[in-house]
Structure 1
């Protein structure tokens, strides 16, 4: 525990500390209004509300916004162990269209973690639990410590 931190407050976890550091410099996620609700080792859950400026020409949530939100959750999850990780390969399957005003939840879970490679599944759902997208990401874990 940090000596300057009151004994009643828990020391921040590595995942939380990495999240704070990453969010300080992630202006794109701030622009999208992504709210990181929970992080832990190999895990991230975030939310955002679909705004009118996020819609495509048919009035549905733009696929690029969905992809960006999933990629952000993937980034928090794969960097949560404190080693800088970068995406090697990602894929996304769009299942349903998000609509204006939808509250979207994006949840990333680690499926496999090895010395140099991590694999993550990210599920994107609306406020009714309807699946909007499934994202799979493979991350390369560098030897660079984040903190």
Structure 2
């Protein structure tokens, strides 16, 4: 993917969403790249994100994947909401891991978009696979 100019509508949607998304900011999500139907972000797993066994809490992984899904499905400028999502956890993240989450659009129709999201650590180990289906409302974001 190539980076888009700062004035591209996708960049405006990203900025608008980030402005109001205090949860993604709290997670420490850094948006690396966004484009039509695409988002790549990363975050560092903090000690307060671990479960009782010292592994990255599944809710954190899910939330990061859900945020990437949201940026990707809203990138076309129509407000989209998740209809259904699933996640498979394959490996446990650990404190200090740098987790990269990448969402890719697999199908885009008038009212429905389908997205695949992968979460990997700094060593390339796949931590989770997430699939999201979004309903595309008629509300224009910009």
Same fold? TM cut 0.5:
yes
What's the counterpart of residue 106 of structure 2?
111
What's the counterpart of residue 23 of structure 1?
18
Q: Distance in 2 between the 1:38 and 1:90 partners? A: 22
Q: Distance in 2 between the 1:13 and 1:143 partners? A: 20
**Unpaired segments of 5 or more residues in structure 1?**
1-9
2:59 is the alignment partner of 1:64: yes
Q: Aligned residue pairs: how many? A: 138
Question: Whose Rg is larger?
Answer: 1
What's the counterpart of residue 30 of structure 2?
35
2:45 to 46, 50, 55: 50
Deviation of 1:24 after TM superposition, in Å, equals 0.3
- Using the size of structure 1 for normalisation, the TM-score is 0.93
Indicate the SS of the match to 1:44. Answer: strand
Q: Distance in 2 between the 1:139 and 1:11 partners? A: 26
Q: Distance in 2 between the 1:18 and 1:44 partners? A: 12
Give the 4+ runs in structure 1 shifted more than 3 A.
none
**Unpaired segments of 5 or more residues in structure 2?**
none
Aligned residues: CA RMSD: 0.7
Q: Distance in 2 between the 1:124 and 1:112 partners? A: 20
- Using the size of structure 2 for normalisation, the TM-score is 0.96
Deviation of 1:36 after TM superposition, in Å, equals 0.4
2:8 to 1, 4, 13: 13
